[in-house]
Copies of this chain bind each other. A is one copy, B any other.
Amino acid sequence: MSNVSNPTARTRVVREPHRGIYDREAVNQVLDEGMMCHVGFVVDGQPFVIPTLYGRNGNVLYLHGSVASRMLRNLQQGVPVCVTVTLVDGFVLARSVFNHSMNYRSVVILGTATMVDDPKEKLAALRAVSEHVVPQRWDDARQPVEKELKVTSVLRIPIEEFSAKVRVGPPVDDEEDYAFPTWAGVLPLETKTGAPIPDERCQREFPEYLKNYSRKKKL
């Protein structure tokens, strides 16, 4: 299993090629810090893009959902799929409108999804999704029983054809613009948790593992 994806014509970064990254470790870091992906698939020539959660186990990405889900029913037919994960790190505020940009890290994975039938892999995959989204929650909640697993589909997508695109750092202005009288730099963006809202019948203390929640700490 290669640690570098030889970019295909389909995954090679065309625009700003210096931002292209084909290294598996870097791609995994983005996948692990991201929370949600956008899944693209085609029905009758029309693309659909649907947000969903995911988990990673080694070189496999897992999606899950109801067996009644239109997306999962389509994907399990073995159609080509594109999974994109995007982290938005900040506004890049240049002196000229034209040189404005975003700092971001995004990963694109092309592949084909297959249904996970093996009960052991299915349970491990659901646990991987759960641990990916809220680490330590699985062991602190009532775990799935047979009838729940029955109405849940899990799909596996091998992480084989992939690329990442990354922009970091300050704005780059044209030399003659540096005298323009405006603030310039990066305004970072981050996703944070707000004050927890216990439900009406909750009788427990808010747990430590949720207090320290951060997408960043996995890096």
Interface mask (A173-207 → B, CB under 8 Å = 1, otherwise 0): 00001101111111111111111111111101111
Minimum distance in angstroms from A209 CB to a CB of chain B = 10
Q: Is A49 in contact with chain B by the CB < 8 A criterion? A: yes
Query: B177, A110: Cβ atoms under 8 Å?
Result: no
Query: B198, A185: Cβ atoms under 8 Å?
Result: yes
Once A170-B197, A182-B140 are accepted as A-B contacts, the answer to whether A14 and B104 lie under 8 Å apart by CB is: no
Q: Is A26 in contact with chain B by the CB < 8 A criterion? A: no
* Chain A interface size, under 10 / 10 to 19 / 20 to 34 / 35 or more: 35 or more
Query: A95, B186: Cβ atoms under 8 Å?
Result: no
Q: Which one of B108, B192, B197 contacts A48 once the chains associate, using CB atoms below 8 Å?
A: B108
Minimum distance in angstroms from A126 CB to a CB of chain B = 7
Task: State which of A37-45, A54-62, A114-122 sits at the interface with chain B.
Answer: A37-45
Q: Which one of B94, B190, B199 contacts A191 once the chains associate, using CB atoms below 8 Å?
A: B190
Query: A185, B213: Cβ atoms under 8 Å?
Result: no
* Chain B positions within 8 Å of A43 at CB level: 10
Once A189-B192, A197-B186 are accepted as A-B contacts, the answer to whether A106 and B51 lie under 8 Å apart by CB is: yes
Query: A141, B182: Cβ atoms under 8 Å?
Result: yes
Looking across the interface, which residue of chain B has its beta carbon closest to that of A148? B98
Query: A199, B171: Cβ atoms under 8 Å?
Result: yes
Report how many copies the assembly holds. Answer: 2
* Chain B positions within 8 Å of A184 at CB level: 198-199, 201-202, 204
Give 22 pairs: A residue, B residue, CB < 8 Å, sorted on A.
Answer: A10-B46, A15-B69, A36-B86, A38-B38, A39-B49, A46-B80, A48-B82, A50-B84, A50-B108, A96-B143, A97-B137, A100-B130, A141-B182, A142-B177, A142-B180, A170-B200, A183-B210, A184-B201, A185-B198, A187-B194, A188-B195, A190-B193
- Residues of A in contact with B (beta carbons under 8 Å apart): 10, 14-15, 35-36, 38-43, 45-51, 53, 65-66, 68-70, 80-84, 86, 88, 90-91, 93-98, 100, 102, 104, 106, 108, 110, 126, 130, 133-134, 137-138, 140-145, 148, 152, 170-171, 177-178, 180-202, 204-207, 210, 213
